[in-house]
Amino acid sequence: MAHYQIILAYDGTAFQGFQRQKSVRTVQGEVEAALHRLNWAGTAITSAGRTDTGAHASGQVIAFELDWSHSENELGRALNAILPEDVAVRSVKLAAAGFHPRYSATARTYQYHIYCQVDRHPLLERYAWRVWPEANLDLLQSAARMLVGKHDFSAFGKPPHAGGSTWRVVYGACWQPEAEGLRFEVSANAFLYHMVRRMVYLQVLVAQNQLSLDGLAALVQGGSAAHSQTPGIAPAHGLVLVDVLYGEKRELK
């Protein structure tokens, strides 16, 4: 019996999130169904995070134990032959003893995509949030810089477990132009539930002159006292989990 670490990519459009649920389609459910066809005897895989309904991943990490007599590459090919077209194994390796995709992680990186047009673009809508009026890139960059550091982010989301800490360390946050729009990338030691999507929403408000930089700063610095003032959330379909880091500590930048 070996312990495997796998990087998954998936299009989250047709999934009700990552975590297995009764009577709905989830990424975990599809992966576990594929593993059972390879005589997997486990009850649940572990993962680096539970992405929202409609959110995507190119770097989700999962782990499980399996009695497999072939190579890691052959395991990846076997799973890809079984998995549906919107989920794929990107890499497989043997995991160290005690490895857990979530608790062993030292940082995670998400990207969020937007495009600025008056009318919807069907070829972009699946993976990006259409924003109008147009978002000012300089204001987006100024807003992103405010997010970096150790803060009580309770105005941006909830901890995964009741009573958990809302303090997080954001190592880097920035916006970059891309072919059809703009990409936000943020890395942190961990994220609260809906934290990235709320970060994006508030930054877009700043970039549309609907929220001042001082107003955003008050939310970043205000902790739970500011929570009730936090408006809205960006839709899930622009969000992608792109990387999970193990073993190294990120530096603030």
- Which one of the listed residues 52, 67, 86, 119 is annotated catalytic? 52
Residue 100 domain flag: no
Give me the chain's average pLDDT, please: 94
* 158 in Cβ contact with 233 (< 8 Å): no
Whether residue 201 sits in one domain with residue 232: yes
Domain count within the chain? 2
Structure confidence at residue 251 as a pLDDT band (50, 70, 90): low
Whether residue 89 sits in one domain with residue 127: no
Whether residue 109 sits in one domain with residue 48: no
* 244 in Cβ contact with 63 (< 8 Å): no
Whether residue 109 sits in one domain with residue 61: no
**Could you confirm whether 52 is annotated as catalytic?**
yes
Strand partners, 149: 170
Structure confidence at residue 71 as a pLDDT band (50, 70, 90): very high
Domain end among 66, 94, 122: 94
Whether residue 133 sits in one domain with residue 15: no
246/104 Cα distance (integer angstroms): 6
Quick check: 229 pLDDT over 90?
no
Whether residue 225 sits in one domain with residue 122: yes
Least confident segment among 154-168, 219-233, 234-248: 219-233
Identify the CATH number of the domain in which residue 63 sits. Answer: 3.30.70.580
* 194 in Cβ contact with 122 (< 8 Å): no
**What is the model's pLDDT at position 250?**
64
Encode pLDDT of 119-160 as tens digits. 999 999 999 999 999 999 999 999 999 999 999 999 999 998
130/188 Cα distance (integer angstroms): 25
Structure tokens at 31: 């992966």
Q: For residue 114, which of 63, 65, 184, 48 has the smallest C-alpha distance?
A: 184
